[in-house]
Amino acid sequence: MNTFSFTRWYGIILKEFIQLKRDRLTFGMIIGIPVMQLLLFGFAINADPKNLPAAVLSQDNSPYARSFVRAMENSGYFRVVRQLDNEAQANELLAHGDVQFVATIPADFSRKLARGERPQLLLEADATDPSATNNAIGAMQQLAATALIRDLAGPLADQNPGPPPIDLRVHRRYNPEGITAYNIVPGLLGTILTMTMVLMTGLAMTRERERGTFENLLSTPARPFEVMTGKIVPYILIGLIQVTLIFLAARFVFGVPMKGNLLLLYSVVILFIAANLTLGITFSSVARNQLQAMQMTFFFFLPSILLSGFMFPFRGMPEWAQWLSNLLPLTHFLLLVRGIMLKGNELHELWPQIWPIVAFMLAVILIGLRFYKRTLD
Amino acid sequence: MTAVVAAPPDTNPDGTGGSAGQPPLVIDVHGLNKHFGDKHVVRDFSLQVRRGEIYGFLGPNGSGKTTSIRMLCGLLTPDSGSGTCLGHDVIRDTAAIKREIGYMTQRFSLWEDLTIRENLDFVARMYSMPERAATVQSALTELGLDSRQNQLAGSLSGGWKQRLALAACMLHKPKLLLLDEPTAGVDPKARREFWEELHGLAESGLSVLVSTHYMDEAERCHRLAYLAYGRLMATGTVDEVIHGQQLITYAVTGPDLSALSQRLRTTPGVGQITPFGNTIHVTGRNDAALVAALAVLGGDSRYQIERIDATLEDVFISLMNDATDNFQ
Ligand SMILES: Nc1ncnc2c1ncn2[C@@H]1O[C@H](COP(=O)(O)OP(=O)(O)OP(=O)(O)O)[C@@H](O)[C@H]1O
Ligand SMILES: [Mg+2]
């Protein structure tokens, strides 16, 4: 009898749009928050992460090579997690973000070293977040000059002083110039969506409750599902507008490249928007008034920006913080957007970041349904 | 729906238990209870309202009128009890009830940031009305708000808000109106018009449950229910309620009435004293005790004492005092 009614649903959407149009403050926030964050976070915040995961592709099983790898680890910046056999493996690990660096030691490393011919050593870095890699690269340059000095003492001592015994080549992958905007833009996208989507929907229901209009809405035949989704739709559209604005700014102001599929990017964005909206609706079911909804939003928003890897490099954080940040959708969304925009990742490479967002959303919906009130009790 | 007068006495078009010669029951609830935390707000609430009846709902502030009305229209779930509203179960069929009733909340609950027209339009959409534009237009014209239809509802005066809310809850032609203090803050002329309209609607078969604090409105209802501290203290027609209490009232006219009131208040047998300008009503249940109490005036010629019929207000105040003595 009382099934989904398109008329009612459309009525709710229409009402929400009209109210939004009249609510100058909210409208200001939708524009103001991106501008404010652009200003605040446009300045790169640098940190000094250590213990970054690295892989070594060593084609030269010599004491020199082993000694150099040991020196890398001793520097504190690198944690060698894998020994690789070929170039393809290296590319895969970097694309997935499993390691931050791959060091390739060529087959003629020790022979050339012994002859004083300055062998090349290739360091490939995942530079999507330059603040995470810059210091490590600096340390590596230092190592190239000094690491093998003691090994080379004796017969090869005449190499010293002079140019460094190793010719270090650094490839900053995905972001060759180490431009921080490449990281800022996806981060901004994620934080703005988190902020506005959670807050707007969080307020949407509590506002009705606070003004007493919820009682009127409840006394009409409108169904909870129609009310909830009817209230969400306008914000999905707003979210997509914000995203498009940021993408345009990324492309034409910051010159961030777009390597991947735009459709895939928008799909990921919609997933992320949906996750945040369900959280917002759940907050507004739990909160008693607008102030509480606001407080809950900030309680969620702060760890999201601090821990997601947007403000501080993910790998620079202690383990418990990394574990916590893996629960947050923003953490995964950042990796997804960087992956698509900068690395050109395909869908099959993105699953490890997609399922945590879906899981988050499901958990939140369950909580929301548990708390949604059909009556005024 | 079959018209009441045309129906043979023993038929029952709604299947809601109309007995011989009487219209069917539109509200029939028994033993409803509601707690908020450990506060027992409504106790064993039973109410029977017949079709075409205007049923007045009275009681002091906080007595549970709003809570009871909310339970009838499915906005609150009773902790215990059962019953039907328009033939639908008040606990399970709230969706069906919502489609057929018009509920006007005590506090203005339309959207202040929508215009008058947008509000009516939204309500019409919520009830999926087929001829929305025409209905909204005629409601605007009837209200006399046609020229102000694009004004924000929040900018209306209190009385106009009430009238708009009333129009909104009648938009979908409900069979039963639940009105929670619909005329609070409405001017006398508009109130009279409102009650005339209500009687017109009732004659055409609409049923109304209306809460009010105004005595003149209570007297315009077909039947009344009086609630105090969540308990139903009295029900019936105005006369039944007045006579049911068997109150005896003397009107005393004369000088210096406040001192007299003070003195009488502590006298045994005097239930309550209500001032009316230069008259006080002295009310009690025992005639002999009242006469004895008034004997203190001892033939003072400045005072006139006259036995009168108790008014509805005397009865309500007496009921409220009884309730205070018994349940507080
Ligand atoms: N949501 C609620 N939570 C807790 N207590 C409530 C709630 N709603 C009502 N009450 C309490 O229930 C009691 C009855 O309130 P109700 O609003 O039904 O009274 P009322 O008869 O409508 O009064 P009034 O004439 O002032 O409108 C009051 O004591 C009130 O404090
Ligand atoms: Mg009330």
Report the residue of A6, A17, A213 to disrupt the B interface, i.e. the one with the largest count of B CBs within 10 Å: A213
Q: Give the other-Cβ count within 10 Å of A368's Cβ.
A: 19
Between B75, B109, B125, which is nearest A212 by CB? B109
Which ligand is nearest the CA of A215, by number? 1
Instruction: Report the b/e string of A27-62 with b at 16+ CB within 10 A.
Output: eebbeebbeebbeebeeeeeeebeebbbbbbbebeb
A5 contacts B128? CB cut-off 8 A:
yes
| pLDDT value of residue A48 | 63
ipTM: 0.82
Determine the pLDDT at residue A154. Answer: 55
State how far residue B122 is from chain A, nearest Cα, in angstroms.
6
Model pLDDT, residue A311 = 73
Closest CB to B110: pick one of A11, A213, A218: A213
Shortest CB distance from A220 goes to which of B96, B127, B152?
Answer: B127
pLDDT at B72: 93
Q: Which of B77, B99, B101 is the closest to A375 by Cβ?
A: B77
Render pLDDT for A274-288 as a digit per residue (tens, 0 to 9): 899 989 988 888 888
- The conformation of residue B114, written as its DSSP 8-state character, comes to S
Per the model's pLDDT, the better-predicted residue between B158 and A372 turns out to be B158
Band (A179; pLDDT cuts 50, 70, 90): low
For residue B195 the two structure tokens come to 């009650």
Residue of A nearest to B178 (CA): A219
Q: What is the arrangement of strands in the sheet containing B304-308, beginning at the earlier edge strand? A: B272-276, B279-284, B248-253, B304-308
Strand-strand pairing, B279-284 and B272-276: antiparallel
Indicate the pairing of strand B101-104 with strand B176-180.
parallel
Instruction: Give pTM, 2 decimals.
Output: 0.75
Which residues from A are below 8 Å from B110, CB to CB? 213, 216
Provide, rounded to the nearest whole percent, the portion of chain A with pLDDT above 90.
Answer: 13
**Higher model confidence: residue A66 or residue A163?**
A66
pLDDT of the residue at B154 = 93
Length of chain A: 377
Dist. CA B66 → ligand 1 center (Å) = 7
> What is the full per-residue pLDDT of chain B (328 aa) written as tens digits?
333 333 333 334 444 444 557 889 999 999 999 999 889 999 999 999 999 999 999 999 999 999 999 999 889 999 999 999 999 999 999 989 999 999 999 999 999 999 999 999 999 999 999 999 999 999 999 888 889 999 999 999 888 998 899 999 999 999 999 999 999 888 898 899 889 989 998 999 999 999 999 999 999 999 999 999 989 989 999 899 888 888 888 888 888 888 888 888 888 878 888 888 888 888 888 888 888 888 877 777 788 888 888 888 888 888 888 777 666 5
pLDDT(A219) > 70: yes
**How far, in Å, CA of B67 to CA of B75, rounded?**
9
* Residue with CA closest to ligand 1 atom 1: A377
Question: Dihedral (C-alpha) A64, A70, A73, A75: value to the nearest 10 degrees?
Answer: -70
Tell me which of A352 and A251 has the higher pLDDT.
Answer: A352
Give the residue whose CA is nearest to atom 29 of ligand 1.
Answer: B62
> What integer pLDDT is reported at residue A155 of this predicted model?
53
Question: A19 and B122: CB-CB below 8 Å?
Answer: no
pLDDT band at A158 (very low <50, low <70, confident <90, very high): low
Give B187-255 as a 3 state SS string.
Answer: CHHHHHHHHHHHHHHHHCCCEEEEECCCHHHHHCCCEEEEEECCEEEEEECHHHHHHHCCCEEEEEECC
Find the angle CA(A274)-CA(A279)-CA(A281) to the nearest 5 degrees. 95
Q: Is the pLDDT of residue A7 over 70?
A: yes
Rg of chain B over Cα atoms, rounded to whole angstroms, equals 23
| Residue nearest atom 9 in ligand 1 by C-alpha distance | B67
Chain B contacts of A215, Cβ < 8 Å?
Answer: 75, 105, 107, 109
Residue range(s) in chain A whose domain bears CATH number 3.40.1710.10:
52-173
The number of the ligand 1 atom at minimal distance from the alpha carbon of A376 is 1
Q: How many CB pairs under 8 A join A and B?
A: 79
Residue with CA at minimum distance from ligand 1 atom 16: B64
Given a contact cutoff of 8 angstroms between Cβ atoms, the answer to whether A198 and A239 are in contact is: no
Per-residue pLDDT at A260: 86
Contacts of B98 in chain A (CB under 8 A): 219-221
| pLDDT for the residue B326 | 64
Q: What is the pLDDT of residues B282-327, one digit of tens each?
A: 888 888 888 888 887 777 778 888 888 888 888 888 888 877 766 6
What's residue B125's pLDDT? Answer: 95
The sign of the CA dihedral A173, A176, A182, A184 is: positive
Q: Set out the domains of chain B in order of their start, with CATH numbers.
A: 52-75+94-243 (3.40.50.300), 248-309 (3.30.70.260)
Distance CA B168, CA B117 (A): 10
State how far residue B130 is from chain A, nearest Cα, in angstroms. Answer: 10
Ligand approaching nearest to the C-alpha of A377: 1
Q: How far is B201 from chain A (nearest CA, A)?
A: 21
Q: What is the pLDDT of residues A71-104, one digit of tens each?
A: 888 888 888 888 888 888 888 888 888 888 998 8
Atom of ligand 1 nearest to the CA of B64: 18
- For residue A2, give the chain B residue with the closest CA: B95
Q: Cβ(A306)–Cβ(A312) under 8 Å?
A: yes
For residues A364 and B81, give the distance between their C-alpha atoms in angstroms, rounded to a whole number: 35
Q: Among all chains, which residue has been given the structure tokens 């340059």?
A: A141
Model confidence at A156, pLDDT cuts 50, 70, 90, reads: low
- How much is the pLDDT for B171? 93
Q: Which long-range contacts (CB under 8 A, 24 or more apart) does A279-282 make?
A: A279/A198, A279/A364, A280/A197, A280/A198, A280/A199, A280/A200, A280/A201, A280/A202, A280/A204, A280/A235, A281/A201, A281/A202, A281/A204, A281/A205, A281/A228, A281/A231, A281/A232, A281/A368, A282/A364, A282/A365, A282/A367, A282/A368, A282/A371
Identify the band that residue A256 occupies on the pLDDT scale cut at 50, 70 and 90: confident
Instruction: Please state the CATH superfamily assignment of the domain spanning residues A52-173 in this structure.
Output: abc type-2 transporter like domain (3.40.1710.10)
Residues at CB less than 6 angstroms from ligand 1: B 36, 41, 59, 61-67, 106
Summarize chain B as % helix, strand, coil (round to 5).
35, 25, 35
User: What six digits make up the tokens of B285?
Assistant: 């249940």
Cα dihedral across residues B201, B207, B212, B218: positive or negative: positive
Nearest-angstrom CA–CA distance, B204 and B198: 10
Whether residue A10 and residue B125 make contact (CB cut-off 8 A), yes or no, is yes
In this prediction, residue B66 carries a pLDDT of 95
CB-closest option in B99, B109, B112 to A215: B109
Residue A45, pLDDT > 70, answer no
B98 and A219 within 8 Å at the Cβ level: the answer is yes
- Which residues of B are less than 8 Å from A217 in CB distance? 126
Taking only the tens place, the pLDDT of each residue in B76-127 is: 999 999 999 999 999 999 989 999 999 999 999 999 999 999 999 999 999 9
